Structure formats: C-alpha cells, structure tokens
Amino acid sequence: MLSVKRREFLASVTRTGTVLGAVFLLFAASIFPVPFEHMRLWGRSHVGFFYEWALFPQDCIDDLQHKISASLTLSSENKRLRLENQALNAERDNALQLQVENEHLKSLLHWSEIPAFGYVTGRVMGEEHGPYRHAVLMGWEGASKPPAVGSVALDMHGLVGRVTEVSPHALRILLIDDKASHVPVVGKKSASHAILGGKGEEGGLELAYYAQGAAPLEGEIVETLLKDGAVSGIAVGRVHYEGQGHPVVLPFADLRHLSILRVVDYAPLLQVAPGYMDGKIHTSHKRKKAG
C-alpha cells in the first residue's frame, strides 16, 4: 500500500511523462511523417469495422427519422392537393353551369356572334395639304390582306380618319379635320347625337346637326356612333365651346404630327350589326305599337 505522498509523486510523474510523450510524438510526426501515416492507416483499417458497428444504430435511427418525416410531408402534401382538386372540380362545375346558362340566355336573346376584324399598322409616309384635302399616306406593305376603303384609322389616342384609297403599297387616309369628313358622334354624358365635321384649312373640328335642347356638354368626351358605316365607341376628343351655341371638338389625336397609325377593317362587324339591329330593335318597336 503506497502512502499518499508516493501516490501524488507517481501521479505527477505520470502526467509529466504523458505530456512530454505527446509532445515528443508530435515532434517526431512532424519530422518523420511517413511512418506515423502508415500507423494511422493501419489503426483505421483495423478499428474502422468496430467504429461502423458502433454507428450502425445511429444510422438506423437517422434513416427511420428521415422516412417518418418524408411520410408526414407526403401526407400533408396529399391532403393539400386533395383540397385543391376539390376546389378545382367545384370551379369546373360552376364554369360548366355558367356556360350552359350563357348558351340558354344567348338562345333567348337570339344572339349573333360578331366575326373578327383585321387590322394593319404602318408609319405615315407623307401628308397632303390643300384647300380641299387634308390627308396622309400610310405604308402597309407586308400585310396578308389589304384593308378595305372606309376602314377606320386610329393612333394611340383616338380616331384619326378613314381610308379613301388603297394601293399595293400605301393607303390614303382622309383625316377627320378635312371638310369632306363627316362622322356621326355621340356625347358620352349627354347622349347627344351630332355630326362631327372638319374645318379644312381653318383646322379643328365642329359639331353640327344636334337636337335642340340636347346640346353637347362642355368638356365631355365624344365617341363615334354606329351609323352610316361608322363604328361606335371610338373616342374622338372633348367638347369645347368657342362661343354661344358653337361647340367644337378638341381631338385626342395630334392630327398635325402623326407617326404610327393602325387601320382597322370593321367590314365584318358592319355586315352583322345593321342586320342585327334591324331584326331586333325594329321588331320590338312594332310590338310596342301593336300593344
């Protein structure tokens, strides 16, 4: 049985020897790395098997945890997709029901489908100014089908004019401020019908032939009216009174500086609309008179 002093002395010697041995091994490994590297590989090859077995339970637990997490994620995703599918089915049924109701209402109204219309876009190549003509030339080469005479010309702001001549490479567009231009229009607020005419060399647009007591309002927007080959709903400009009973229209389009124009051929629409109007509105008037 060793005394306390001897045990303390032995412990201190052991600690000191262990530290010195570790320092010596590090110093030797830095000077002679190859033998120590072989020793490390040998120890790893013999101890690695036991290390893998020691980690096997942990790997199994991690794999099981991953599978459980994936299963829960798939379950929640499946639930979400099922709810979305039910919502989509409900929307589809609602859309089908609305489609059936729409077809039924169309049959009650004797609905007539309006055919599509074509358009071409081009750049203004030149202007024609004179005492009796204010027109521009627009190139249209490359379009599959030429616009018809009477097609409507627009810019990004509103109505510009109508096509009067068509050639293989250009269109002549009579502007709305020409004296020969007469466009049926309606006030958006007052619902006042009038004829919009150009002033020619004087420049500007004036309103005429509106009903007494239904004059256009100052500042209201005027649009084209479905009449005499014109198409309704195209914005032209705003009403301004230059004097008592003298309404003019300030156009949205800058007729003096035109660049890019779009010419729209409303011929298919005009072929359907008058027949539709005659067949429905006039019939209803006759029924009211008969009643």
Is residue 146 a contact partner of residue 166, using CB atoms and an 8 Å limit?
yes
- Read off the pLDDT of each residue in 225-244 and give the average, rounded to a whole number: 82
* Domain range list for the chain: 18-111, 118-286
Neighbours of 125 (CB within 10 A): 12
Region 102-131 average pLDDT = 78
Contact between 234 and 223 (Cβ < 8 Å): yes
Confidence of residue 229 (pLDDT cuts 50, 70, 90): low
Separation between Cα atoms, residue 252 and residue 154, nearest integer Å: 11
- The pLDDT assigned to 29 comes to 82
% residues pLDDT > 70 (the chain): 85
Beta-bridge partners for 118: 265
* Mean pLDDT value across the chain: 82
Q: For residue 181, what is the DSSP state? A: -
**DSSP code at position 200:** G
For residue 157, how many other CB atoms are within 10 A of its CB? Answer: 13
pTM for the complete prediction?
Answer: 0.53
Query: What are 151-208's pLDDT values in tens digits?
Result: 899 999 999 999 999 988 889 999 999 988 899 999 999 989 999 998 877 778 999 9
Can you state the angle between helices 4-31 and 33-109, rounded to 10 degrees? Answer: 80
Backbone angles phi, psi at 168, to 5 degrees: -60, -20
Q: Given this model, what pLDDT does residue 143 score?
A: 62
pLDDT digits (tens, 9 = 90+) for 10-46: 888 898 989 988 888 888 888 888 888 888 788 777 7
pLDDT of residue 233: 87
pLDDT number for residue 21: 87
Weakest-pLDDT range from 60-64, 77-81, 102-106, 224-228: 224-228
Q: Do the bridges between strand 246-251 and strand 152-154 make them parallel or antiparallel, or are there none, so unpaired?
A: unpaired
